[in-house]
Amino acid sequence: MKKLLSALALILAIVTALTGCGGKLRYPSYYTLDLPAPPDPPAPEGVRTSIAVREFQSPGYLRQGPIVYRRTPEEVGFYEYHRWAADPRALVTSAVIDHLRAGGQFSMVSMYDGRPNNDYVFSGKLENLEEVDYESGVKVEVAMSAQITKAATGATVWSNAVSETGTVSQRNVRGVVSEMNRTVDLAIDKLLSTVPAPGANER
CATH number for the domain harbouring residue 110: 3.40.50.10610
Residue 165 CB burial class (10 angstroms; 0-12, 13-18, ≥19)? middle
Q: In angstroms, rounded to a whole number, what is the distance separating the alpha carbons of residues 203 and 193?
A: 22
* Sequential pLDDT tens for the chain (203 residues): 555 445 444 454 444 444 444 556 888 999 999 888 887 666 566 678 999 999 999 999 998 899 999 999 899 999 999 999 999 999 999 999 999 999 888 999 999 998 889 999 999 999 999 999 987 889 999 999 999 999 999 999 999 999 999 999 988 999 999 999 999 999 999 999 999 887 665 65
Q: In angstroms, rounded to a whole number, what is the distance separating the alpha carbons of residues 143 and 130?
A: 10
Bridge partner residues of 167 (DSSP) = 139
Please indicate, yes or no, if residue 12 is contained in any of the structural domains. no
Please indicate, yes or no, if residue 134 is contained in any of the structural domains. yes
The confidence score (pLDDT) of residue 18 equals 45
What is the number of structural domains in the chain? 1
The confidence score (pLDDT) of residue 25 equals 80
Please indicate, yes or no, if residue 141 is contained in any of the structural domains. yes
Rg over alpha carbons for the chain, rounded to the nearest Å, is: 24
Bridge partner residues of 149 (DSSP) = 121, 156
Please indicate, yes or no, if residue 15 is contained in any of the structural domains. no
3-state secondary structure labels for all residues of 76-140: EEEEEEEEECCCHHHHHHHHHHHHHHHHCCCCEEEECCCCCCCCEEEEEEEEEEEEECCCCCCEE
Q: At what angle do helices 173-192 and 88-103 cross, to 10 degrees?
A: 40
Full residue range of the structural domain in which residue 55 is found:
29-192
